[in-house]
Copies of this chain bind each other. A is one copy, B any other.
């Protein structure tokens, strides 16, 4: 029986036409992170399962992780996310390095998912984190970095918004609603799924909880908030105007005016229960066919707790390549990447022509000219179709006449300009190619 040619379920083959798109995305990730001074890091593909258990709890381990015992009886997992790894790495070095620490990575990750739009088993995730930044300036920078990154594709406020909340604010409000920690936890769960379940189901679940007086009304009022001003009013009403002031100031004064247009207060954004402690956010696609989060993140106070290290706070985000590509495709923001990008196609129209031209090819490559050679004699009438397929800007033509003179003909495919050069004169040819 012949083997299957399909990739493993939920993973992708990146043929060059696909890889070119992914490399375009990766290139923008590297550029945005580096333009903000973030340093690239990476970690192992496998970690001990203990690490994930400590950070994410049993649920992720049981349902979503690829785990197995290695031959040395270590219980390991293929990384489903980068945060535990980066926490482990920062724990090793945080005492010796100056703060803030700004790191980014683009790892391949594996989760046991039922494949669906925007969700695959293997994906790549752009992770940026600032550790140990003062006050809320790290938070502000991270949000600016995401916006900068998405703008670098030509996206603007018509295409995406940044939905923001703050866990300390939610804690403050829930303290007025809930009599105990257990109920607060349930309220968080309810908020987290409030957009996904019908209003009636939400109310039913709410009614099952024992809340403080007027707690139910306050909870509803909270869920109906739609702006930073609304939020300020509510907090003032419950006597917590200083919390409101702090958050309001952060949003309106630390984020530059021209980026503020992207920010939208959203009370339903809480993002997981155990990890984040400060600001939380999701970048949301505004396209009606693709209303989903492209990216999420937030601030955390106790990254290193599981390593018994002193507290170190940070803020970060993760953005997957699949959702990013869906977003860009929805809004038609991807350029035409259907062809490779070569500078020069070497063709010859005489026997064994390559032998005469291979030295030239290598010299041009040394000067940075992407030079692809056709290995066989190529009829003149086929040259231009092949050059087009190879995405080349120039071609060489080398027939019996040129050979007799020790020359080669170079043609600029845009301007149609054509000129003959001595084969040995790679300098002059280089100049022609750079006009």
Q: Which of A1-20 contact B (CB under 8 A)?
A: 2-5, 7-9, 11-16, 19-20
Task: Pick the most buried of A15, A340, A355: most chain B CB atoms within 10 A of its CB.
Answer: A15
Choose among B36, B307, B359, B375 the residue that contacts A133 (Cβ–Cβ < 8 A). Answer: B375
Choose among B22, B91, B110, B366 the residue that contacts A42 (Cβ–Cβ < 8 A). Answer: B22
Asked if A223 CB lies within 8 Å of chain B CBs, one says no
Cα A2 to Cα B307 in complex, Å, equals 5
Q: A3-B54, A42-B19, A47-B8 are in contact. Are A92 and B13 (CB under 8 A)?
A: yes
CB of B78 within 8 A of CB of A78, answer yes
CB of A134 within 8 A of CB of B45, answer no
CB of B355 within 8 A of CB of A254, answer yes
Asked if A102 CB lies within 8 Å of chain B CBs, one says yes
Task: Pick the most buried of A20, A370, A375: most chain B CB atoms within 10 A of its CB.
Answer: A375
Q: What is the 8 Å Cβ interface bit string for chain A, positions 368-403, against chain B (1 contact, 0 not)? A: 111111011000000000100110000000000000
**Taking chain A's interface residues, is the majority helix, strand, or loop, or is none over half, making it mixed?**
mixed
A90 to chain B, nearest CB (A): 10
Asked if A354 CB lies within 8 Å of chain B CBs, one says yes
Q: A93-B15, A370-B35 are in contact. Are A45 and B7 (CB under 8 A)?
A: no
Q: A102-B372, A308-B2 are in contact. Are A112 and B71 (CB under 8 A)?
A: yes
Q: A12-B44, A72-B9, A307-B2 are in contact. Are A371 and B37 (CB under 8 A)?
A: yes
Q: What is the 8 Å Cβ interface bit string for chain A, positions 108-149, against chain B (1 contact, 0 not)? A: 101010000000001000000000011101100100100010
Cα A55 to Cα B376 in complex, Å, equals 31
CB of A35 within 8 A of CB of B371, answer yes
Chain B residues near A159: list those with CB within 8 A: none
Choose among B37, B54, B103 the residue that contacts A372 (Cβ–Cβ < 8 A). Answer: B37
Cα A209 to Cα B2 in complex, Å, equals 37
Q: A3-B306, A362-B256 are in contact. Are A41 and B16 (CB under 8 A)?
A: yes
A413 to chain B, nearest CB (A): 16
Q: A88-B5, A110-B45, A308-B2 are in contact. Are A35 and B68 (CB under 8 A)?
A: no
Chain B residues near A218: list those with CB within 8 A: none
Chain B residues near A12: list those with CB within 8 A: 44
Asked if A338 CB lies within 8 Å of chain B CBs, one says no
Q: Which of A345-374 contact B (CB under 8 A)?
A: 354-355, 358-359, 362, 365-366, 368-373
Q: A39-B340, A148-B362, A370-B35 are in contact. Are A76 and B8 (CB under 8 A)?
A: yes
Which residue of B is nearest A144, CB measured? Answer: B362
Which residue of B is nearest A137, CB measured? Answer: B375
Asked if A238 CB lies within 8 Å of chain B CBs, one says no
Choose among B46, B98, B253 the residue that contacts A8 (Cβ–Cβ < 8 A). Answer: B46
Q: A9-B72, A68-B68, A371-B37 are in contact. Are A122 and B45 (CB under 8 A)?
A: yes
Cα A23 to Cα B26 in complex, Å, equals 13
Asked if A70 CB lies within 8 Å of chain B CBs, one says yes
Closest 7 CB pairs of A and B: A37-B372, A11-B44, A16-B39, A2-B308, A68-B68, A14-B42, A35-B365
